[in-house]
A = this chain, B = another copy of it.
């Protein structure tokens, strides 16, 4: 067998991609090991050789997904010129995702729902992904506003995106992404530092 690399054999990749599809569609607790290995056409011991436990597999799946997400956003950001355009490409990515055939909501949000213990590795993987996106937007925004306002705005944009993903999951993808985009640029273009009454 021609193994592509010691850390990433073909079988391992099959398992991760199959588990990703099943976790996404049916959830983590509801997806059994037996179904994963059956659909991946892999022996049980092969899976357990690569992943010590189901929890470990879940973390690896989340990491796989997070890395792909980051790569795609990196590539989109290269095409954009202004900071506003860079933010817009992020919303573009979400719009395409919402419209994709097998959209089932955010795997990380789902993982958080099923693994709410902050000490659990899955929880930490989720927090890492969400904070990564927030930092990405924050560093973009720091080119057009002071750092403290960039931090607040990035947090607000992340909340809008997460909420839009939830609404898209409930079948309101079109209005969700449209209203989120409008709200985002309303926040960014706010005349002064935002203040609540």
Chain A interfacial positions (CB closer than 8 Å to B):
25-27, 29-30, 84, 88, 104-105, 109-110, 112-114, 116, 118, 126-127, 130-131, 152-153, 155-156, 158-164, 166-167, 169-172, 175-176, 178-187, 190-191, 194-197
Bound Cα distance from A170 to B160, whole angstroms = 16
Question: What are 20 sample pairs from A and B whose C-beta atoms fall under 8 A apart?
Answer: A27-B114, A29-B114, A105-B116, A110-B113, A112-B113, A113-B113, A127-B170, A130-B167, A130-B170, A152-B175, A153-B183, A155-B167, A155-B172, A156-B180, A156-B183, A160-B163, A160-B183, A182-B195, A183-B183, A183-B194
Report B-chain residues with C-beta under 8 Å of the C-beta of A166: 109, 112, 130, 159, 162
Copies per assembly: 2
Bound Cα distance from A110 to B111, whole angstroms = 9
Tell me whether A156 and B152 are in contact (CB under 8 A): no
Task: State the Cβ distance, A51 to closest chain B Cβ, in Å.
Answer: 20
Q: Which of A118, A158, A179 has the most CB of B within 10 A?
A: A179
Tell me whether B159 and A181 are in contact (CB under 8 A): no
Known contacts A105-B112, A196-B185; A167/B159 CB under 8 A: yes
Task: State the Cβ distance, A158 to closest chain B Cβ, in Å.
Answer: 6
Task: State the Cβ distance, A21 to closest chain B Cβ, in Å.
Answer: 13
Nearest chain B residue, comparing its CB with the CB of A181: B196
Q: Which of B105, B114, B158, B182 contacts A152 (CB 8 A)?
A: B182
Q: Which of B112, B159, B186, B194 contacts A169 (CB 8 A)?
A: B112
Report B-chain residues with C-beta under 8 Å of the C-beta of A131: 170
